Chain A
Amino acid sequence: EENEKPHDEL
């Protein structure tokens, strides 16, 4: 399972 993607927007 893919890792949690970080949120790159504010």
Chain B
Amino acid sequence: MNIFRLAGDMTHLFSVLVLLLKIYATKSCSGISLKTQELYALVFLTRYLDLFTDFISVYNSVMKVVFISSSVAIVWCMRYHPLTRRTYDKDLDTFRHYILVGVSIILALLFHDRFTFREVFWAFSIYLEAVAILPQLVLLQRSGNVDNLTGQYVFFLGAYRAFYILNWIYRYFTENHYSRWISWLAGFVQTALYADFFYYYFVSWKNNAKLQLPA
């Protein structure tokens, strides 16, 4: 565990906490894309298949459980919770996310480390995670105004993979650890998708103004 990896995990954890806080405190999930949340639930459920077969550390297992349970809880709040499900901007959240699932399945079947059940699902989760933010970004762009907590949620979620890239670079030089090229490529795509958002986030932060995305 190095400082970059820890920073990545913490920003990831923080993004989830900010999102749960937003839904709990404001009793609203407006501005949040259910499509993106469903994709994340699918990402964690398929990536952490090793939760019961490989023990790495208590930290590792706890984080896996946190990411699986929080993503499922958020989907539940948006779909079924009597108070919050009505605040979901259904009409703005029209991204055809099943296309992302389909493309990720095809990519995982073609490009993987080994043709085993677990490795194909792992590759699928990496590809899907790289693009899972797209419905959320489209929803924000459509609604224009972004509330503070939602803006912070997306910011921390984007920062997490950027820290992971630094962690892979660090591990490459210090441990001679060779992260799989699948993670490198998907990690870069994932971080690049946030470039626009990061730009407007920093501009609004510098000007101490409300975050607004151009139409």
A4 to B109, CA, bound (A): 17
Report A's interface with B, CB cutoff 8 A: 4, 6-10
The answer to whether A4 and B12 touch (CB under 8 A), given A9-B5, A10-B60, is no
Report B's interface with A, CB cutoff 8 A: 5, 9, 12, 47, 50, 54, 56, 60, 63-64, 67, 114, 116, 118-119, 122, 164, 167, 179, 183
How many residue pairs at the A-B interface have CB separations less than 8 Å?
A: 24
A4 to B67, CA, bound (A): 24
Q: Which residues of A contact B50 (CB under 8 A)?
A: 6-7
The answer to whether A4 and B118 touch (CB under 8 A), given A10-B12, A10-B64, is yes
Please indicate which of the listed interface residues A8, A9, A10 has the most CB atoms of chain B within 10 Å of its own CB: A10
Q: Which residues of A contact B12 (CB under 8 A)?
A: 10
CB distance from A9 to the nearest CB of B (A): 7
Residue from the list B63, B118, B119, B179 in contact with A10, Cβ < 8 A = B63
A8 to B122, CA, bound (A): 12
Q: Which residues of A contact B179 (CB under 8 A)?
A: 9
A9 to B54, CA, bound (A): 12
Closest-by-CB residue of A relative to B48 is A10
Are B63 and A7 closer than 8 Å at their CB atoms? Answer: no
Per CB-CB distance, the 7 closest pairs between chain A and chain B, nearest first, are A6-B54, A8-B56, A10-B63, A10-B9, A6-B56, A6-B50, A7-B122
Closest-by-CB residue of A relative to B8 is A10
> A7-B122, A9-B164, A10-B64 known; 7 other A-B pairs, CB under 8 Å?
A4-B114, A6-B56, A8-B60, A10-B9, A10-B12, A10-B63, A10-B67
CB distance from B36 to the nearest CB of A (A): 18
